[in-house]
Structure 1
Amino acid sequence: MLRSIIVLSLLGVVSLSCERSKGVKETSNEDSTAMMPESDKRLLFVGTYTEKEDHVDGKGEGIYVYTMDKNTGKLSQVSINRGIKNPSYLTIHNNGKYVYAVSETMGTDSLPQGDVYAYEFTTDSTLREINHVPSEGGAPCFISIDPSGNYALVANYADGVITLLGIDDNGALSQKMFVKHSGKGLTSRQQSAHAHSVWPTKSGYVYAVDLGIDKIIPYKLDEGKDTLEATGRDTELRPGSGPRHLAFHPSKKVAYVVNELKGTVTTLDILDNGELRPFQTLSAVEDTTMVDAGSADIHITPNGRFLYVSNRGKFNNLAMFRVNSETGELTLIGHQTTKGDGPRNFVIDPAGKFLLVANQNTGNVITYEIDDVTGKLIDIGVESEIPTPVCLKFMP
């Protein structure tokens, strides 16, 4: 499969403001941690869909801010930022002062692009918009911050575009450049490139995961030039896999990619030259004949002992894996229901005690406790109602 990369320098672009979208607020456990000491709380940011789209009936109001009780896993709503459409993915700056969100929209026929928003997290636990800029591609679905804190990277699903944005000392965003993938894959969902996530690393390599062309594409981030340079060492996954998100082992040179279409997870060695080399692929779903299994998210515990994958569609569960302490290879433990429909995203708290999963279509977030011996997820009876939740991010 041939792939060409078009690198386009960005000129000045005028940002367009987004109108407030409508939604219905639903939440549980409100104010239950109001009297708790701050040391017993952990901040959680929730991205939602606010609009009715072909693939989702968005009922959210924007970006929700919650606190989580570190002892019980219960959530309490703090605030809502309503000035953004479809904030389907969020990331938090390394300094904890700024929050960034994609606005997963398609723009217009003549200018098919979404937007990226920068916010300051204020002392009253609300989000103050700093600025917003075009994403340079349609349906931006993922955003990350590089380790230096000087750049944000965005994956635009609709047209396979990866965008590099600068971050100034005040948290504001500015355009730097973008790269556009091309090619196609095996299935009906792979008629063109579809960048689904982008992952900067401390080594300076940036990994773009493209569902449409079954590839993980490594770039080198050149801070002197504000550019992404292709290395030519792409990882080609099995045809029809549909790679979506990555997880990195906390102490080994090993990464894991969840393959949405095949419902598999592939383990990869991280080489010194930035190449990701596959050496194991396991099914994350019970039915291995699926063409579009709907696997979505992947995370590893902070201690590197257990890894989890969310599966949507007919499954609506979390696959649980044990990680080999020597090789990083995976062994399936079992599956845990998510008690809802459409677990697009989940998060493990920084202490490794709780896993929270967001069920997009049923509007609920379920908190599980992680058994630190077996890795199994324990249902502790904690559920929070949040309309169309699709991204969960803890404050570092």
Structure 2
Amino acid sequence: MAGTDTGLRAYIGSFTSEGGAGITVASRDPESGALCPRHTTDVVANPSYLALAPGGDILYTVRETDDGAAAALMVTDPGTPPVPLAAPVSVRGAGPTHLALAGGHLLTANYVSGSVTALPLLDGGALGEPTAVFQDEGSGPHPERQRGPHAHHVRPDPSGRWLLTVDLGTDAVRIYGLPGLRPHGAVSLRPGSGPRHLTFHPRGERAYVINELEPTLTTCRWDAADGRLEPLGETPVLPGGSGSGRSEPRGSAGECFPSEVVVSGDGRFAWAAARGTDTVTTFALDATGDRPEPVATTSCGGSWPRDLALGPEGRHLYAANERSGDVTWFSLDPATGVPRQAGSLAVPAASCVVFG
């Protein structure tokens, strides 16, 4: 693989404050799923989460620091690393940990300050100054993790009419109308569950919320016509028990802190990563998508899987393992959805993977 360049790319974020290189660009083999490093750039500190523009020519990143910011980088010739379009733009919030493109804006979830920021996309893809900063309010029962709001995730719905934001500190999912980011409503999840990330079933009528403080997966009904989210039930991430992870997420092996959930393109399977146990759980989904059934739990291939990503062809799964400093990839059994580790790439303090 070292001498092969397919032209397909994976972009890997990492924590520079923990020894990461910043953004690693790797070539990707669509048949084997293998990654081969090509470039690194540390022009942005702690680029913990990335998003690629639809055309693939601009890469957006957060700067997960106390003086939080977002940046746009031009993806130029495959032989060179991405280069900044301009200086990072302040999100007017602390610790931005996730971002998404929607409604002509880049949206960031600012974990430390518990806010959500909208930055307009200018001509050429550069970022403008924030047009809106929404400050979440409230708290939850966990004495350390839920003293105040902690926005952790932003996700546009499949219709493009709504933005959903997930707040770990207040056990809530908030809904905004697009374009313009108009506050629309909020849904409370079980107190103390600590919702972290959200994804949609490919049909668009179900959403799945991964909870960090109580390691469960919450299935929700989504009504895009009214912008309404309705929780239907919870499924343990670890088969046979709840595997409580309610302490700080610096825990020892055996504690369970789910991080990410992804759903297959055909809607038959979902996968959830969990830190502490360092596992990936495979769920079988029925025709309705209402009842995820955990069918297997496998090793993530490293330690502390912060992110989980499905390859564009749907045949491979990738785990960004922060503490072991690697990205592992898995071949997926087409009949059962169960992953089998196929390789790994050393990436110190890896935090996310996105594909071009």
When normalised by structure 1's length, the TM-score is 0.83
Tell me the alpha carbon deviations over residues 238-294 of structure 1, each in whole angstroms, 9 at most, x when there is no partner.
010000111111124111000011000011111121111011210002551514231
Partner SS, residue 190 of structure 1: coil
* 228, 242, 260: which one aligns with 2:181: 228
Partner of 1:301: 264
* 218, 232, 242: which one aligns with 2:194: 242
Partner SS, residue 332 of structure 1: strand
What is the total number of aligned residue pairs between the two structures? 340
Residues 215 and 243 in structure 1, CA contact (< 8 A), matched pair in contact too: yes
Letter in 1 for 2:207: A
More deviation in 243-252 or 153-162?
A: 243-252
CA shift, 1:321, in A, is 0.2
Q: How does 1:334-353 map to 2 (within 5 A)?
A: 334-353=296-315
Partner of 2:251: none
Give the distance between the partners of 1:378 and 1:341, measured in 2 at CA: 16
Q: How does 1:367-382 map to 2 (within 5 A)?
A: 367-380=329-342, 382=343
Percent identical among aligned pairs is 30
CA shift, 1:339, in A, is 2.2
Partner of 1:142: 98
Partner of 1:193: 149
Give the distance between the partners of 2:10 and 2:315, measured in 1 at CA: 15
Residues 215 and 243 in structure 2, CA contact (< 8 A), matched pair in contact too: no
When normalised by structure 2's length, the TM-score is 0.92
Structure with higher Rg: it is: 1
Partner SS, residue 232 of structure 2: strand
Partner of 1:258: 210
CA shift, 1:383, in A, is 1.5
Partner of 1:204: 161
CA shift, 1:33, in A, is 4.7
Give the distance between the partners of 1:49 and 1:198, measured in 2 at CA: 20
Letter in 2 for 1:283: P
Tell me the alpha carbon deviations over residues 159-180 of structure 1, each in whole angstroms, 9 at most, x when there is no partner.
1110001011211101211100
Residues 33 and 67 in structure 1, CA contact (< 8 A), matched pair in contact too: no
Root-mean-square deviation (Å) = 1.4
Give the distance between the partners of 1:389 and 1:257, measured in 2 at CA: 23
CA shift, 1:327, in A, is 4.0
Give the distance between the partners of 1:177 and 1:198, measured in 2 at CA: 14
Gaps of 5+ in 2: 247-255
Q: How does 1:1-396 map to 2 (within 5 A)?
A: 32-36=1-5, 38=6, 41-51=7-17, 58-107=18-67, 114-123=68-77, 124-131=79-86, 132-146=88-102, 150-174=104-128, 175-187=130-142, 188-201=144-157, 202-222=159-179, 227-232=180-185, 234-271=186-223, 272-286=225-239, 287-288=241-242, 290-292=244-246, 293-313=256-276, 315-380=277-342, 382-395=343-356
Give the distance between the partners of 2:243 and 2:155, measured in 1 at CA: 30
Tell me the alpha carbon deviations over residues 334-388 of structure 1, each in whole angstroms, 9 at most, x when there is no partner.
20111211001011101110001111001111111011111111123x1111111
CA shift, 1:237, in A, is 0.5
CA shift, 1:42, in A, is 2.6
CA shift, 1:35, in A, is 3.3
Tell me the alpha carbon deviations over residues 166-197 of structure 1, each in whole angstroms, 9 at most, x when there is no partner.
01121110121110001000102000000001
